[in-house]
Structure 1
Amino acid sequence: MAQAQEASNSVRSERARGLQDAILVVLGILVVWQGLHWLAGDVAVSSPWATVSRLVELLLDPGFWPNVWETLYAFGLALLYALLGGLIIGVTLGGHRLSGEVAEPILVALYSIPKITLYPVILLLFGLGMSAKVAFGTIHGIIPVIIFTMNAVRNVAPVYLRTARALRMGPLSTGWRVLLPATVPEIVSGFRIGFALTLLGTLIGELFASQRGLGFMIIRSMERHDVPTLLAVSLLLFLFATLCSWALLIVDRRLNRRL
């Protein structure tokens, strides 16, 4: 009983420290932001209050939400393709050692290439609009998922694979029932990175090949030198990415604790 109480107190203390650290980080960001505003002025950086006020105005504007849904739809499709494609390719390459050894340096080289250099090819293949945004987002996010999944499959305990062979399980059944569950923690880690890069790729796609979306609003705000709107949309994206990354981090930690 005493040990359970002590463990409960330890968890509460850890959560309190985490909340305190988060508050300090937010306050630090606001102080730096306000300082930059005082140094550069409204022409370069709007104040935190002005930015939040502009964000509230946008959220209350019915004309703003079609841009939000456009970005979410493109990002959702790109994330789905990146995750499913990365899982399938990663499990396949990880299960076949020779193919994985050949593909790994190629994937690392592709991962290091600035994806913006591929944008003319994407436009030629997919044209302007939704398909180009989804393709560009998928290209950004799929490679980390492949690499993490492939390495996770390689690190699976050999006893699992021997058991699958003893049970006469086929390749598809082994991948689904043995490899995938054993590699979930590392796959989630790769998904966290792929999530951020997919969002980045989708927004970059909207900067150059879209007539609607949050990325389109950012580029239009830059053209008009509308600093409050530019920072308000950026703040919304920052909050969305931070909350989603925080949720994925919690899932990642809980999965690793169970192992």
Structure 2
Amino acid sequence: MSSIATAALKPKRSHSRWSDSVLLVVVLLGLWQIASSLLGADVLPGPWLTFVKLNSILRDDDFPENLRITAVAFALGFAISCVGGVCLGLVLGARRLAGDVMEPILMALYAIPKITLYPVVLLMFGLGLYAKVTFGVIHGIIPITVFTTGAVRNMRPVFGRTARACRLSPVAYARYVLLPAAVPEVLAGLRIGFSLTLLGTLIGEMFASQSGIGHMLMIAMGRNDTQTIMALAILLFVFATVVNLMLLKWHQILSKSG
């Protein structure tokens, strides 16, 4: 009987979530329109003007190339942040002394405004792909490292004792014990790392590139083109929201299965 009741409640919960989501979107659009009316369309374009401008941008012949350039830089930056952050986090989590020494250093480095590193990155990599990737990595890798380190430290001690009893090598220990046990919390770090890597990539394009969506934003800011700024901001917001919802769903599934 309990399973039947649970099955009957699932459609209602799903319908309630969709209703809440639609209501939230409607409320946000309403508040946006009110703010636009109060401030003026020149300061804050309303939803209709923004979506019309976004449609015009998407139809522009130069947009696919700018999108491709940003996507390549972001994908490389996020991949490096994920691999580097997870591997470093596993090592620092397993080696508590190293973690205790490195964690304050990482947090201090993360507190530094990344834009101050712009001259250094520019001198090292010049204008182009590598500078944008570097900006993305220095924004995203530290949160992923910190979350992974915390996940490994919170792992049940019995896992470590079992691995030592089985005489697993460090690589096998990381692959078969540490990583599976830490995956749910690592995904939480990946969600934050995703958003920050995207932010870093766009900052890199704004200051160290001659193409890409970040460069389009920089040109729009120089021209005080608020419609283009809002249209690109909405595009990035939708992309980041969709990916974060997918990662959140994956996180929830792994948490329940664990």
| TM-score, normalized by the shorter chain, greater than 0.5 | yes
Question: Percent of aligned pairs with the same residue?
Answer: 47
Q: Which amino acid aligns with 1:200?
A: L
Is structure 2 residue 48 aligned with structure 1 residue 49? yes
3-state SS of 2:205 partner: helix
- The answer for the alignment partner of 2:114 in structure 1 is 115
1:158-177: per-residue Cα shift (whole Å, max 9, x none)?
21111111111111110111
> Could you tell me which amino acid in structure 2 is paired with residue 87 of structure 1?
V
8 Å Cα contact 2:67/2:213 also seen in 1: yes
Amino acid at match of 2:228: T
Q: Which residue of 2 aligns with 1:167?
A: 166
Displacement, 1:19?
1.2
Moved more, 2-11 or 62-71: 2-11
Matched, 1:197 2:196: yes
User: 2:17 is aligned with what amino acid?
Assistant: G
Structure-1 separation of matches of 2:108 and 2:38: 41
Matches within 5 A, 1:1-259: 2-259=1-258
Count of aligned residue pairs for this structure pair: 258
Secondary structure of 2:62's partner?
helix
Output one character per residue of 1:134-175: Cα deviation in whole Å (capped at 9) or x when no partner: 000000000011001111111211211111111111111101
1:59 offset after TM fit, Å?
A: 1.5
Residue deviations 1:218-238 (CA, integer Å, cap 9, x gap): 110111122211111111101
Counterpart of 1:189, as a letter, is A
Which amino acid in the other structure matches residue 201 of structure 1? G
Measure, in 2, the Cα distance between the counterparts of 1:10 and 1:210: 52
TM-score, normalisation: structure 2 = 0.97
Letter in 2 for 1:222: M
- The alignment's C-alpha RMSD in Å is 1.1
Larger mean CA deviation between 220-229 and 243-252 belongs to 220-229
Deviates more, 1:237-246 or 1:217-226: 217-226
Q: Secondary structure at the match of 1:62?
A: coil
Task: For residues 182-227 of structure 1, give each alpha carbon's deviation from its aligned partner in whole angstroms, at most 9, with x where no partner exists.
Answer: 1000100100000010000001111111111111111101111222
Task: Name structure 2 gaps, 5 residues minimum.
Answer: none
Deviation at 1:3, TM superposition (A): 2.2
What is the alpha-carbon distance in structure 1 between the residues aligned to residue 119 and residue 20 of structure 2? 44
**Comparing 80-89 and 112-121, the one that deviates more:** 112-121
* Structure 1 position 6, deviation (Å): 1.2
**Normalising by structure 1, what TM-score?**
0.96
Work out the CA distance in 2 between the residues paired with 1:128 and 1:214.
Answer: 15
Unmatched runs of 5 consecutive residues or more in structure 1: none
SS at match of 1:169: coil
Output the CA distance in 2 between the equivalents of 1:196 and 1:91: 22
Following superposition, the deviation at residue 113 of structure 1 comes to 2.3
- Letter of the structure 1 residue corresponding to residue 172 of structure 2: S
**Distance across 2 between alignment mates of 1:203 and 1:211:** 12
Distance 2:88 2:116 in 1: 24
Q: Distance in 2 between matches of 1:118 and 1:61?
A: 33
